[in-house]
A and B are shown apart, each in its own frame.
Chain A
Amino acid sequence: MAAYDTIEARRGWLLVSPTALFVLLLLAAPLATVVSFSFFTQDFLTVDYTPTLNNYREAFTDPIYRVLMLRSLWISGLVTAVTVILAFPIAYFVSFHVAPERKALWIFLITIPFWTSYLLRVFLWKVILGFNGVLNSSLLGIGLIDEPLTFILYNSNAVVITLAHAFAPFTILPIYVALEKIDRSLLEASQDLGESKVSTFFRVTLPLAMPGVVAAVLIVFIPTIGDYVTPRLVGGPNGLMIANMIQTQFLKLNNAPMGATLAVLAMCAVTIISLIFLFFNRRYLR
């Protein structure tokens, strides 16, 4: 236990206290309220405050919740895998092959699309992927396909494509930062000692970049589970996710306790999966 200078400690606490209070009041307390609400039940127009596990029982037995939850985890996992695998080569390219004075420009280019209205980006993916959409009409135009592709809109594929686009900068940046930190002489040393370029990549570069990859995975995986815009706009009936159900419970069915239960379950599921993921990658994070 490190010893703290009392004056310094007091000043530090005093200075951080406005932010800390704000977060405790507006985040910690509301989160605790949501957790307690998940044990109540909606009794027509009023909330019945008798604690019960009924909501959880319903959430685990009613197939619709189970289907939505499993599908959300599956889609989020898929989005994460696709986004990170697509993003890694870009981060690698910018870090290792772009001249130092042009790196900032590349990073700027990568982040610009991210500042277009999120709703409109999702909507435009609908336009691109649709039956008469940009992609189909161009592919038909150059004669690559004979009839419009239908497997790319109103299903989970469309959700994966759209979210992989939405989270691109969030994955590229942490991986890029991790790659930038790698001491280039280590790579030379590896090759001087007889490793090939490929084995140098897998035995030196990749393990050293893993902290960035782990951060990227968590930054994509955790928020995707809470997205209801993309599934609603491009997902079709079979692409809806748990967040759509949470939104419906709160805003349409007026059943806040059930919505709270689903929110808590979604949060727990993501946390557990993230912790397992961190556990398996712990040796890279020391």
Chain B
Amino acid sequence: MRGGWLRVYAIGYLVFLYLPVILLPLFAFNEGTVIAFPLKGFTTQWFVELAGIQALHGALLNSLFIALITASLSVLLGICAARASTRYRWPAKGPMMGVIMLPLVLPEIIVAVSLLVVIVQIFDLPLSAWSVIAGHTLICTPFAIAILTSSFQGLDLSLEEAAVDLGESRWGAFSKIVLPLVSPGIVASFLICFTISLDEFIIAFFLTGAEPTLPVYIWGQLRFPTKIPAVMALGTLMLVASLLILSVAEYFRRRGVRRIGGKDSGGFL
């Protein structure tokens, strides 16, 4: 055993981290209608109940649509920026990349209110799924860039040069050599953006129109004590879905690290 008391502390800290996560499935399968201990019996009725809520299905479809578009846009914009910053030297690169990465450290409420003011006050447009997509793409793009930059950085430039020397066009070399090599990074960043968008609440609450996203729907339900057990069941399903998506993302990320012959430094972000 290495680490001594540090190991004890680390395990205590993991308990702190997992405390809410463990409670989620516990209450989802709990027969009692009150979210408190002691637990009553085991039941799956809350999961059955979920299947019958129409508003929930609408919110889920809306969220999936938003997450799909957000992830696609973020990855496209991320590829442009990550490739430009790793492959070429150009003036004002530092400041420009700084501005692009800014949403990573900007309080989300600032992103939300600035888009709200422009959409509602200036252009007098109705809020819709697209306003949420705009906000989510802003905060997801830096994540995509961070992941893609490490993929592009690991590339051996000579592979691409060889392809050009052997007669490929620059686009051909990019699409036939570079893209396949960074594709694990693309998949990983897509899945992470998808998950972030699916779970995002602060921006969505400001920018969602008549059709709520899933987190906005959940926020509305938290006020009604009788609805909470079903929300716990929903949360459990969302957790399982997130973990599946992230495991796939992690698998692709590792495959990417192996493909470019790098050393695995562990974990995303």
Contact = CB atoms under 8 A, between A and B. Distances in A.
A149 B2 CA distance: 36
* Most chain B beta-carbon contacts within 10 A, residue among A23, A108, A138, A247: A23
A215 to B, nearest CB: 10
Contact of B18 (A107, A113, A133, A226): A113
A65 interface: no
Nearest to A267: B110
Contact of B108 (A5, A133, A180, A223): A223
A92 interface: yes
Given A128-B20, A169-B269, A26 B138 contact: yes
A101 to B, nearest CB: 9
Contact of A260 (B113, B232, B246): B113
Contact of A107 (B84, B93, B266): B266
Interface string A67-106: 0000000000000000000100110111001110001100
* Interface of B: prevailing SS: helix
A242 to B, nearest CB: 9
A186 interface: no
B105 A219 contact: yes
A280 interface: no
A123 B14 CA distance: 19
Contacts of B219: 119
A150 interface: no
Interface stretch (B41-49, B53-61, B153-161, B195-203): B195-203
Interface string A165-182: 100110001000000100
Contact of A267 (B7, B93, B99, B107): B107
B113 A263 contact: yes
- Among B19, B115, B117, B242, the most chain A Cβ lie within 10 Å of the Cβ of B117
Given A23-B100, A116-B21, A229 B88 contact: no
B114 A115 contact: no
A130 B90 CA distance: 56
A246 B20 contact: no
B121 A4 contact: no
A246 B114 CA distance: 12
Nearest to A166: B20
Interface string B237-249: 0110011001000
Interface stretch (A6-14, A187-195, A200-208): A6-14
A225 interface: yes
B3 A97 contact: yes
Contacts of B215: 117-119
A228 interface: yes
Interface string A18-62: 111011101111110110010000000001000000000000000
Given A9-B91, A15-B84, A165 B3 contact: no
A94 B108 CA distance: 30
B122 to A, nearest CB: 6
B178 interface: no
A194 B212 CA distance: 64
B23 interface: yes
Contacts of A233: 222
Given A18-B80, A124-B20, A263-B113, A132 B267 contact: no
Given A34-B114, A127-B36, A243-B107, 15 more contacts: A9-B91, A16-B85, A16-B100, A19-B77, A19-B81, A22-B77, A24-B99, A34-B117, A89-B13, A93-B3, A110-B17, A111-B268, A112-B243, A119-B201, A256-B117
Interface of B: 2-3, 6-7, 9-10, 13-14, 16-21, 23-24, 27, 35-37, 76-78, 80-81, 83-85, 87-91, 93, 96, 99-100, 102-103, 105-111, 113-118, 120-122, 134, 137-138, 141, 145, 195, 199, 201-202, 206, 215, 218-219, 222, 231-232, 235, 238-239, 242-243, 246, 250, 264-269
Interface of A: 2, 4-5, 8-13, 15-20, 22-24, 26-31, 33-34, 37, 47, 86, 89-90, 92-94, 97-99, 103-104, 107-113, 115-121, 123-125, 127-128, 130, 132-134, 137-138, 165, 168-169, 173, 180, 218-219, 222-229, 233, 243, 246-247, 250-251, 256, 259-260, 263, 266-267, 270
The 7 closest A-B pairs by CB, nearest first: A226-B107, A12-B90, A12-B88, A30-B114, A104-B266, A97-B3, A107-B267
13 contacts: A13-B90, A15-B87, A23-B100, A23-B141, A26-B134, A28-B99, A29-B118, A33-B122, A37-B117, A86-B13, A116-B235, A116-B242, A226-B106
